[in-house]
Amino acid sequence: MHETKYVLSLQYQFNITIIMEKELRLSPSSGYLGLFCSLLMFFGPIAMFFITGEHFWFALLVIDLFCWMGLLILHPNESVVMVLFGKYSGTIKRNGFYWVNPFFNRKKISLRARNLNSDPIKVNDKIGNPIMIGIVLVWKVEDTFRAAFDVDDYIRFVDVQSEAAIRKLAGAYPYDNFDDEQSDISLRSGGEEVNSELEKELIERLAIAGIFVIEARIAYLAYASEIANAMLRRQQATAIVAARQKIVEGAVGMVELALSQLSKKEIIELDEEKKAAMVSNLMVVLCSDKDASPVINTGTLHQ
């Protein structure tokens, strides 16, 4: 029974927290009306002083000072978070000229899209190779309440969480498939799949700060300098082996075709020894990386 009450209490507190941690739209008064009242309260006491000669009219100028402090100009794609004596009162997102309570503590937050071009950092990929990786992140503030109150500095928060997401992504995939042939996706060849995983990770991490991720992509990817030369030689060797394999496959096919055509058209009869010599000569000519130098035989086949 007590456990049930405790769970219900936690659930109730969690629901209350969700309700309180919600951005509220504030509808301020027109700034032109506030400007008119401020001007009226400025010139009115001065006029009444000359008419009546009483000095107490100047006390209204103090009130007028607070009226001037309530004027607010908001540009497009900007917002202002309003706090009254420590209590969140709402957010103004619509641009224009307004008058608000002069006692409001105001915090401006830009709603424009921003770019984060992270410097390449050294991390280890899935199989432990040190690599350099950097990303480009396009983001903007969507929930001003979370950006203002759920994190200390939302811009710094984006930087730190982006680096953490990069390290997690690099540890989940190998740089390429040379050392991990069982892996279907690598950082170098993953393309959209890797970028989608990066976006998903950043969305989860930045949601607490009210940040909307527009796009995230890998902008820089390379081996670390201490192994770059070794990895380059390995890639070159792999490419040479693959090319040689294709050459040998083609040469075997050509030799097979030559022997088949000679036998089919009965141009010459070759025993096994002569076939072996012919195959050896053709393979040398076809597989050599240099041009073959022909030698003319002026005698018989046995000389």
Instruction: Give the torsion sign (CA, 204, 209, 215, 218).
Output: negative
Look at residue 228 in the predicted model and tell me its pLDDT. 58
pTM of the model: 0.66
Q: Are 202 and 162 in contact (CB under 8 A)?
A: yes
Q: How far is CA 106 from CA 62, 65, 80, 109, 166, in A?
A: 21, 17, 6, 10, 35
Three-state secondary structure call for residue 290: coil
Give pLDDT tens digits along the chain (303 positions): 434 433 333 343 344 344 446 788 888 878 778 777 777 777 766 676 666 766 666 667 777 777 788 888 889 999 999 999 989 989 999 888 988 888 888 999 999 999 999 888 888 888 888 888 999 999 999 999 999 999 999 999 999 999 999 999 988 888 877 655 555 778 877 778 889 999 999 999 999 999 999 999 988 888 887 765 666 776 666 666 667 777 777 777 777 777 777 677 766 666 677 767 777 767 766 666 666 666 655 555 555
Question: In angstroms, rounded to a whole number, what is the distance separating the alpha carbons of residues 213 and 141?
Answer: 9
Alpha helices, H only, the chain: 2-20, 31-52, 59-69, 144-145, 154-172, 192-206, 225-264, 272-287
CB atoms within 10 A of CB 256: 11
Question: Quick one: pLDDT at residue 301?
Answer: 53
